[in-house]
């Protein structure tokens, strides 16, 4: 009886104790592995946070204000402000497009659109050498009023050109180049709105917009006439 008990004890010691030790070692190894992965994840997160804090945060806006006695907002200006990490070698340029849409009179009802770049909407750029804060401001030279009058003529006289209705829209674009604090080069493109700020564009889209906005594709806003533009779009119907 005593020998049988000793035999069972020896089997237990030879079998279960090593198994328990092996399981313990496995648990310790798994814990160390989990801790290592967790530490790596924490380190990655910390690096991401640090990198994010170094990145610039651009505030891009376009506004208008009156300069004369009639109260009309005839002066528009576009500003680029950096409220984040520093930037270097900053350069900015703008592109301006006019898009006109029209609806025909006769059935079947058709619609047409013309869109073209306009040269020199913003005639002056005030550029800062700072790495943050206001980096650039673009001013127009009474072109806000010019487009207002052009759009009014297009909107009020479509019937004389065989159209049911027509209207004009402005499109503002901004291209910026800079080097960030980690010495990475960036080329970014934005569409800018009077009310909604700016929306970043895909690089290919932005590149094509600025590529097209060059002579001889551009027109001069001061030479545009609503009657001629209405005739041009009427021919597309």
Across the chain, what does the average pLDDT equal?
84
Q: Are strands 219-220 and 111-119 parallel, antiparallel or unpaired?
A: parallel
Give strand ranges (E) for 26-145: 58-65, 75-82, 88-104, 111-119, 122-127, 133-140
Given this model, what pLDDT does residue 35 score? 62
Q: Which residue has the higher pLDDT, 131 or 225?
A: 225
Residue pair 45/53 in contact (Cβ under 8 Å)? The answer is no
* C-alpha dist (Å) from residue 4 to 1, 15, 94, 196: 5, 16, 95, 88
Of 56, 90, 91, nearest to 181 (Cα)?
56
In sequence order, the β-bridge partners of residue 133 are 82
Of 35, 54, 45, 230, nearest to 152 (Cα)?
230
Residues 177 and 191: their CA atoms lie apart, in Å, by 15
Question: Tens digits of per-residue pLDDT, 151-200?
Answer: 999 999 999 999 999 999 999 999 999 999 889 999 999 999 987 789 99
Q: Which residue has the higher pLDDT, 132 or 60?
A: 60
Tokens 């648990």 sit on residue = 27
Compute the chain's Rg from CA coordinates. 33
Please report which confidence band the pLDDT of residue 18 belongs to, taking 50, 70 and 90 as the band edges.
low
Tokens 């401001």 sit on residue = 137
Question: Tens digits of per-residue pLDDT, 25-45?
Answer: 666 666 666 666 666 655 555
Given this model, what pLDDT does residue 111 score? 95
What is residue 116's DSSP assignment?
E
Res. 139: pLDDT tops 80: yes
Tokens at 154, concatenated: 């297009």
Q: Which residue has the higher pLDDT, 17 or 23?
A: 23
Of 197, 201, 206, nearest to 78 (Cα)?
197
Please report which confidence band the pLDDT of residue 5 belongs to, taking 50, 70 and 90 as the band edges.
very low
Tokens at 4, concatenated: 């049988």
Res. 218: pLDDT tops 70: yes
Please report which confidence band the pLDDT of residue 99 belongs to, taking 50, 70 and 90 as the band edges.
very high
């Amino acid at each position: 009886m005593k020998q049988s008990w000793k035999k069972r004890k020896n089997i237990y010691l030879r079998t279960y104790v090593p198994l328990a030790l092996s399981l313990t070692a496995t648990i310790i190894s798994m814990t160390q592995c989990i801790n290592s992965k967790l530490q790596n994840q924490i380190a990655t997160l910390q690096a991401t946070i640090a990198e994010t804090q170094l990145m610039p945060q651009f505030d891009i806006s376009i506004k208008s204000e009156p300069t004369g006695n009639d109260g009309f907002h005839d002066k528009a200006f576009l500003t680029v402000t950096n409220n984040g990490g520093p930037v270097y070698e900053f350069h900015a340029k703008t592109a301006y497009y006019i898009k006109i849409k029209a609806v025909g009179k006769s059935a079947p009802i058709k619609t047409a659109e013309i869109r073209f770049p306009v040269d020199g909407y913003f005639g002056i750029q005030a550029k800062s050498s700072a790495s943050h804060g206001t980096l650039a401001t673009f001013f127009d030279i009474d072109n806000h009023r010019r487009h207002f009058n052009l759009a009014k003529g297009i909107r009020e006289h479509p019937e004389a050109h065989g159209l049911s209705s027509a209207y004009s829209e402005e499109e503002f674009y901004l291209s910026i180049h800079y080097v960030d604090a980690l010495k990475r080069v960036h080329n970014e493109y934005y569409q800018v709105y009077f009310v909604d700020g700016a929306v970043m564009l895909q690089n290919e889209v932005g590149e094509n917009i600025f590529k097209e906005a060059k002579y001889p594709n551009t027109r001069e806003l001061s030479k545009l006439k609503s009657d001629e533009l209405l005739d041009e779009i009427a021919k597309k119907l």
